[in-house]
């Protein structure tokens, strides 16, 4: 399986597939859109949804991010023109966007990498009592600058 070496060996048996996404500097947002079943080209819709999430719950996110300055940086990072080149300051930072993604889409977000693997839960909802409706998405951060979709067991 390509790119499997970018994940700790102890989780290899839990990875069913790794799907690379388009290389246009929106890797993380492409991967999230694909994992949510929207289609890889819906990356701009994901950015828009996350921007609305930040706006709707701004006070909570300002507290979570440690102040208005960092909150505004993250908000601005979501503002892109589909036609222009996406600079590094617009790339998805999974450590900052994790709760925004989990909360907006009411999913458990699993982020895997060689350096650190993490799991994030929505901030404002309770887990469903029926585990069959529990939705989990898994994103991989590889080569220190690229995201992929990870299908896991």
Cα distances (angstroms) measured from residue 134 to each of 23, 108, 120, 127: 30, 8, 13, 7
- Over residues 6-34, the pLDDT tens digits come to 999 999 999 988 888 766 666 788 889 98
Pick from 8, 101, 114, 86: nearest CA to 49: 101
Full-model pTM: 0.85
- Over residues 97-135, the pLDDT tens digits come to 999 999 999 999 999 988 888 999 999 987 777 777 778
| Residue ranges covered by each domain of the chain | 23-148
- With bands split at pLDDT 50, 70 and 90, how would you rate the model's confidence at 60? very high
Report the topology of domain 23-148. Cathepsin B; Chain A (3.90.70)
- With bands split at pLDDT 50, 70 and 90, how would you rate the model's confidence at 42? confident
Q: Across the chain, how many H-helices and E-strands are there? A: 5, 5
- Mean pLDDT of the region 54-63: 96
């Amino acid at each position: 399986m390509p790119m499997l070496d970018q994940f700790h060996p102890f989780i290899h048996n839990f990875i069913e597939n790794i799907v690379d996404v388009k290389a246009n500097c929106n890797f993380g947002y492409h991967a999230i859109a694909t994992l949510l079943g929207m289609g890889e080209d819906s990356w701009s819709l994901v950015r828009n949804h996350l921007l609305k999430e930040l706006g709707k719950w701004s006070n909570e996110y300002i507290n979570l991010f440690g102040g208005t300055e960092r909150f505004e940086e993250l908000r601005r990072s979501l503002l892109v023109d589909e036609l222009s080149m996406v600079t590094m300051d617009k790339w998805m930072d999974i450590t900052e966007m994790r709760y925004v993604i989990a909360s907006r889409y009411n999913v458990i977000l699993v982020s895997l990498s060689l350096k650190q693997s993490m799991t994030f839960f929505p901030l404002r909802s309770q887990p469903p009592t029926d585990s069959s409706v529990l939705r989990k998405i898994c994103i991989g951060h590889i080569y220190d600058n690229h995201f992929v979709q990870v299908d896991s067991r």
